[in-house]
Amino acid sequence: MTAMTQQRIWLWPWFVLGAVASASMAVAEELPFAEEAAIRAAVDRVAASVVRIETAGVSEAALASSAEVAPASGPSTGVVVEEGGWILATSFAVPQDAREAIVMLPSAAGSQRRVARVVGRDLSRGLVLLRIDESPPPVTEWVPRAELAVGQWTIAVGRAWDGAVPSVAVGILSATNRSWGRSVQTDASISPANYGGPLIDIRGRAIGILAPLPADTAGMNLGTELYDSGIGFAVPFEDMLRVLPRLKNGETLSPGVLGIGYSARDPFTGEARIATCRPGSPAAKAGLRAGDLIVAAEGRPVTRIAELRHVLAPRYAGDTVRLSVERAAGQAKSEQAKSEQAAPPSRIDVQVTLVKALPPWRRPILGIVPVRSAAREPRPGPVKVAWVWAGSPAAKAGIAAGDQIEAVVPPLAEGDTTGAGDAIPVDSASTLAGIVAGTDVGKTLGLVVDRDGKRQTLSIESVAMPTDLPGDLLEQIPPFAAAPAAGVAPAGDAVTVERLQAAEVAQPPLAVLPSVGSKEPLGVIVFLDVPRGPIDDAQAAEWKAAAARHGVAVILPGSVDPQRWGREDIGGIKRALATLATKRAIDPARIAVVGRGAGGAFAWLVAESLGPAVRGVALIDSALPRQATVEPAEPGRSRWVLFGAAADDAAADVSPRVEADRRRLDEAGSPAGTLPMGQGGRVPAATLAAWVEALGLL
C-alpha cells in the first residue's frame, strides 16, 4: 500500500464522520418533537373516551377509612368501553356502598355532568361498571396480551383535574404479569387522578385500565400505597372484555376461594404443599387434604406456591379449576416393619369450583399439647405429646405424656372419592395442627399412637377451643427444662436479664431469658405496661420465676414517648423479636402480646402489626382499641384473647366495652376468655407464662 493510498484511507472517514455528525445532530434535535407528536397523537385517539368520575354524596367507606388515601376522597377517571354509555371506573371513585356516580363528559364548551348508575362490580380487580343514558365514543382498539412486551412505551391518561384537557404520564411497560396474573405494571406516574383511566401504547391502543391493585407481598393491601412511586398497575383490556357481558348483566364478580393453607410461608420459594383444608371448602369437598402436594393447575406445572397463585388469583367465584396432587402412600393401620420401603406417591386429579366465601370456622382441638419445636424442625418425625389438657377428648381417650403420634386417619369428606380415609403420616407439630384445623368440630379422628414401641389407633372427637383457663392449669403443665421446683425461687443462673440491642433502637427493651441451651425452643411474651419511657432492670424481677418455670422469654419494651405508646414503638418491638431470634430458638406456636392499661389497647395494635405470628393477646384493664378490626378466624390466623381486670375503677370503666369485644370475637370465631388476676392487682406472671405454653394446644 502506497503512502498516498494510506493517506486517502485516513482522510476519507474524516469527511464522512463530519457529515454523519451533522446529520445525527439534526436527528437529535428533531427526536423530542417526534416523540411529543407521537404521544399527543396517541392521547388524541382515546381522549374522547376518557371521562371524569365524581362521587355522588359522601361514602360510608370514606368516612370509616383511616387510610392515607381513602376511597372516594376526590375525583378520578373512567373510560368508555362500549357503546350505550358503558363506562369502567375503579372502586376508589365508586366505593362498595355507592349505587351512583357523577360522570363529567369531556367538552371544550363546558362541563356536562351526567348521573351514572352502578351496574356491576369486579371485586377481585377493584373495577366498577357504570352506565349513563348517552354514549360517548368508546375505546375502539386494544392491545392483545400476547403483543405486550417489557420496555414498550406506555401512556397513562386521566381526566380528574380538567374536564377539557386530559392529564398524561409517560413511561414504559415494566412487567406483564403482576398482582398474581391480574395486571401489567408500568413506571408511568399513576395516582388517584388517573385510576380508572386507560393505559395506552404509543399507537393509542388501550393496554389496560389503571387500578389501585394491592401489592400484598410487600404488605400493601389497600392498593393506594404505591401511587406516584414509579410502580403502577393496569388490568389488561383483554381480560376485562372477557367478563364485560357478566358485568353488564349486573353480576358482582368476587375472587375465587379454594380454601387451603400452605405448609411453606414464602410463596416465591415454597412448594405448594397443603397444610390444612378448611372444612366445607371447595378443596375439602374435592377430597384434598393436609399433606397433598399440588403439582399442576389447569395443565400447567406447579413447583412453587407463586405458580399456583398465578393460576388461581385471576379466577372468580364459580370458576372451575383442574388440579393435580401427589399424595404420599397412607400409613397402614396394622404393624409395619421400620425398614419397609415407602411406596411412591400417587397422583390424583380433581376439579374444584371456587367459591365467594368459606363457611365460618371455629378452632377445633383434641386436647394434645406437643413438645415444643423451633420454627425450623431439623429432623421430621412423629409428634411427641408433652402433656394433655385435663378433661379433653384426648385425655378421655387415654392419650398420655410421652406418647408419639405417627399418623392421623381423617374423617371422610362428603362426596370424597380420593381415599381420604387413609392415614396421613405426621412428621411435625405443624402437620398435626393443619390436620386438626381442617376438621369440623364434632368430627372424629383416628390417631395412630406409638407408646413404648406398641402402636394403636385411638378415636378422638374434636371439640371447640376453650375460652377460659382452667383453675389448675399451673399444676397440669410439667416444668420446663432446668426449671426450679414449684414454689422455689429461681437461682441466679436460672434466668438472665439483658438488653436486646438492635440498629436504630435508642431504648433497647429488656429481655428475661431462661438459662437453657440456645436450641431449646422458648415461648415469648411481649409485655406492654403503661407508657413510662425507658425500662429499668428492676421491672424484670416479677417475671423471673415465671420465665424459668415455663421456659418463656419475656420482652419488656419502653415507650419512646413517656406519655404514650406510638407507631415508632412497634418498629422497636419488631426489631427486638428479630434480635431475640438470633440468640435463642423460638417456638412459633407460643408467642403472645400482653398489655395493661394504655398498654392493653396498644398490645392489640402490636399483634395486628405482627400478624399471624402472634397466637395470643391478653389485655388487662383495657378493651380493644376503638379502631380495632376483628377479622374472621381461620387456620393459622386464630388468636386466643384474654381480658383481665386488676383495678376496680378500671374494670368498671371498660367492662361494657369488654363484653361487646367478647361478642365480636366470638362471632368471628376467636376464643375470648377471662384472665385470672393475682392478689392486689398484680400482673399474674405465672398464669400468663403457663398460658403461653398452652397456646400450643391442638
Tens of pLDDT along 1-30? 333 333 333 333 433 334 434 545 555 556
Residues 6+ apart with CB under 8 A from 207: 142, 143, 148, 154, 173, 184, 198, 199, 200, 201, 234, 236, 237
Across the range 564-584, mean pLDDT stands at 91
Query: 20 or 528, which is more confident?
Result: 528
- Please, which residues bridge with residue 8 across strands? none
Q: What is the pLDDT of residue 330?
A: 58
Q: Are 306 and 266 in contact (CB under 8 A)?
A: no
Query: 214 or 174, which is more confident?
Result: 174
Query: 388 or 193, which is more confident?
Result: 388
DSSP string, 356-423: S-PPP---EE-SEEEPP--SS-SS--PEEEEEE-TTSHHHHHT--TT-EEEEEEPPPPTT--S-TTSB
Percentage of the chain exceeding pLDDT 70: 82
On whether the pTM is more than 0.85, the answer is: no
Give CA–CA dist 363/669, Å, rounded: 7
Give CA–CA dist 600/530, Å, rounded: 8
Q: Are 208 and 182 in contact (CB under 8 A)?
A: no
DSSP code of residue 333? S
* Residue 129 burial (CB count, 10 A): 27
The three-point CA angle 95-96-102 to 5° equals 45
Across the range 659-677, mean pLDDT stands at 92
Q: What is the pLDDT of residue 500?
A: 87
pLDDT band at 422 (very low <50, low <70, confident <90, very high): confident
Burial of 199 (0-12, 13-18, 19+ CB in 10 A): buried
Q: What is the pLDDT of residue 449?
A: 93
Give CA–CA dist 169/197, Å, rounded: 11
Range scoring the smallest mean pLDDT among 259-268, 523-532, 547-556: 259-268
Across the range 211-219, mean pLDDT stands at 69
Q: What is the pLDDT of residue 337?
A: 37
- Please, which residues bridge with residue 206 across strands? 142, 200
Q: Are 276 and 261 in contact (CB under 8 A)?
A: yes
Range scoring the smallest mean pLDDT among 65-69, 212-216, 452-456, 598-602: 65-69
Percentage of the chain exceeding pLDDT 90: 57
DSSP string, 473-539: HHHHSPPPTTPPPTT-PPPTTTEEEEE---TT-SSPPEEEEE-S-TTS-EEEEEEE-S--SSPPGGG
Give CA–CA dist 266/258, Å, rounded: 18
Give CA–CA dist 548/494, Å, rounded: 6
- pLDDT at residue 488 greater than cutoff 70: no
Across the range 504-513, mean pLDDT stands at 83
| Three-class SS state of 6 | helix
User: To the nearest whole number, what is the mean pLDDT of the chain?
Assistant: 84
Give CA–CA dist 424/299, Å, rounded: 26
Q: Which domains does the chain have, with CATH numbers?
A: 47-253 (2.40.10.120), 260-331+346-353 (2.30.42.10), 364-464 (2.30.42.10), 488-694 (3.40.50.1820)
pLDDT band at 109 (very low <50, low <70, confident <90, very high): low
Q: What is the pLDDT of residue 536?
A: 83
DSSP code of residue 142? B
Residues, the chain, total? 698
Q: What is the pLDDT of residue 493?
A: 64
pLDDT band at 35 (very low <50, low <70, confident <90, very high): confident
- Please, which residues bridge with residue 88 across strands? 79, 129
Q: What is the pLDDT of residue 67?
A: 40
Give CA–CA dist 566/7, Å, rounded: 79
Give CA–CA dist 216/223, Å, rounded: 9
Range scoring the smallest mean pLDDT among 37-46, 176-185, 349-358, 479-488: 479-488
Give CA–CA dist 301/297, Å, rounded: 7
Q: What is the pLDDT of residue 6?
A: 36
Q: Find, among 344, 283, 274, the residue nearest to 302 by Cα.
A: 274
pLDDT band at 263 (very low <50, low <70, confident <90, very high): confident
